[in-house]
Structure 1
Amino acid sequence: MAQQVRDVMTGAPVTIESLASVTEVARRMRDEDIGAILVVEGEQLQGLVTDRDLVVRCLAEGRDPDQTTVYSVCSGPVVTVQPEDDAAAAVQLMRSNALRRLPVTQDGHTVGVVSIGDLAIERDERSALADISAAPPNR
């Protein structure tokens, strides 16, 4: 039986408003122990920002993280999937777009995120990526 995205996604995604500063999003990443946060404007998904985005698009460019908005450094446009989509289709979408994470939306609301780690744990729990993804975060 085909597995749906809802079966592998991480629910309750962390979001941040698009006009928040890079400093604020970095603190949220630290506090939440995550490397990516969904960027929203109200209820509308605008992008996804990763810790790498903060380094490459803000710090390495000499921009002031207190004055730089998260929207100006986030990745977009956003490719999304729905909870009822086939997980194999999500894998193909990630592969064809070179993505590590896909926001999951339903009725215009973000309901989760599916990552390559989530998929690795479900598809081959003995793989190195699954082991790494299931491990507790480094502190």
Structure 2
Amino acid sequence: MRIGELAELAGTTTRTLRYYEQLGLLPARRAGNGYRAYDEADLRLLREIRVLQDFGFGLEETRPFVECLRAGHPEGDSCPASLEVYRRKLAELDDCIARLEDVRRQVAGQFERAVQARDELAASVQPPLCELTEDSTEDSTEEE
């Protein structure tokens, strides 16, 4: 298949495919007429890259998965290098989650302090006395 067809099937652009070729993630094979030629295996590589990128993997992090598929393995994550990328990504995610949990605790503490301060202020402040309201109540009682 040609580059436009592959791009459409993969849900990407021809520019992206050319970039992947430059990075060595996608093979740059040419047909007899000089056009780029791709097959189903290339589409599978692109789908692997796309899934990993959706998970937050950088392009270089996808390389071991692509190489694993190119080596003929049925899955891109069945090679030791791919498993190592998973380990590193999981450690990175765990660190990110821990930082977010810490920030959440801090924000929740600030929120609780702000609510408590607001409630204490509201309890200590007397509403202003409106003389007009009291006078008019007394006047209406006298008229009856």
**TM-score of the superposed pair, with normalisation by structure 1:** 0.23
In terms of fraction of residues, the more helix-rich structure is 2
Larger radius of gyration: 2
State the TM-score, normalizing by the size of structure 2.
0.22
> Which protein, 1 or 2, shows the higher relative CO under an 8 Å CA cutoff with sep ≥ 6?
1
Greater fraction strand = 1
